[in-house]
Structure 1
Amino acid sequence: MSDDRSERLRQRRKQSKQKVQDESESESDEPSETDEPAQPSETSEASEIAQPSKPSKPDETDKHAETDDPDTPADASVKEEQIGTYMYLPQSQKKDLERLYNILKAEYEYEYDEEFEKNRSFYPLVVKYGLESLDGLDASEIRERLESL
């Protein structure tokens, strides 16, 4: 599964470089002697993930119809609107999170006939209502909840 993601990142990087190359060639009448076809850089997968290039065309999953912020374009990606936050979870919690997302996504999309995105909708809901359930706990209640994980 991570191989698919890394391959998609490589393809996006290659497409982005090719687009920049094509645009720069179309701006100049004569190609210079140093113009070369864009080659994908040979970087590690970790650095590609840490610094992904912007895709030349946004994915459909990154688009949304409207936004509350008038300065944000309607087709802005989640990456442009929100802050990336990375978590490390036990395998069982990750599995529960994925299961819940799939159930809620199916129910929401069936009922409202609109997309229920994981990064734009689901994760913010999980965090908001998770924070609310933890708000006001004292130290002993926190310990009890940690022990029940």
Structure 2
Amino acid sequence: MSDERSERLRQRRKQSQERAQDVSGSETDEPAETGKSSKPSKPAEPDKQSEPSEPDETDVDEGSVKEEQVGTYMYLPKSQKKDLERLYNILKAEYEYEYDEEFEKNRAFYPLVVKYGLDSLEGLDASEIRERLDSL
């Protein structure tokens, strides 16, 4: 289902770009834009044109995380996964209560965990790495 949603967002973004090009009168750019994603978008285009109000609503939304970031998969011990989920739920509740906006796991939480985890590991020597591994 998330792949379908991603495809719908891509279609809406593409249609918005095409409308912007039509308004600006730059017809020479249109064939190149259509050629970039012609395989997935051609069959879906007629269906999407029947939804005139939705593209305007999604123009306000941020793009798909899949399009903005690189998917990275990892395996964690169950206890670390549980700690990660617990921390996410706590931070999500606090952040959303304070700022009244969504705190997304893939867009916000995971990049924070990796950034500050990398910062804490930077500059460690081999013996310090061994100590941290032993403490897991």
| Letter matched to residue 125 of structure 1 | L
- Counterpart of 1:124 (choices 111, 121, 130) is 111
SS in 2 for 1:111: helix
Structure 1 position 23 matched with structure 2 position 46: yes
Give the TM-score normalised by structure 2.
Answer: 0.60
Distance 1:136 1:21, change over 3 A: closer
Aligned length: 97
Once the two structures are superposed, residues 71-101 of structure 1 have per-residue CA deviations (whole angstroms, 9 ceiling, x without a partner) of xxx5311111111111110111000000000
- Give 1:95's aligned residue: 82
- Give 1:52's aligned residue: none
SS in 1 for 2:72: coil
Instruction: List gaps (5 residues or longer) in structure 1.
Output: 1-7, 27-56, 66-73
| Letter matched to residue 66 of structure 2 | K
Of structures 1 and 2, the one with the larger relative CO (CA 8 A, separation 6+) is 2
- Counterpart of 1:141 (choices 124, 128, 133) is 128
Deviation at 1:9, TM superposition (A): 5.5
Q: What is the percentage of aligned positions where both structures have the same residue? A: 73
RMSD: 3.4
Instruction: List gaps (5 residues or longer) in structure 2.
Output: 9-39
Distance 1:64 1:125, change over 3 A: farther
Pick the structure with more helix per residue: 2
| Letter matched to residue 46 of structure 2 | E
Aligned equivalents of 1:92, 1:78: Cα separation in 2: 27
Aligned equivalents of 2:128, 2:44: Cα separation in 1: 58
Deviation at 1:20, TM superposition (A): 2.9
Structure-to-structure mapping, 1:57-136, within 5 angstroms: 75-136=62-123
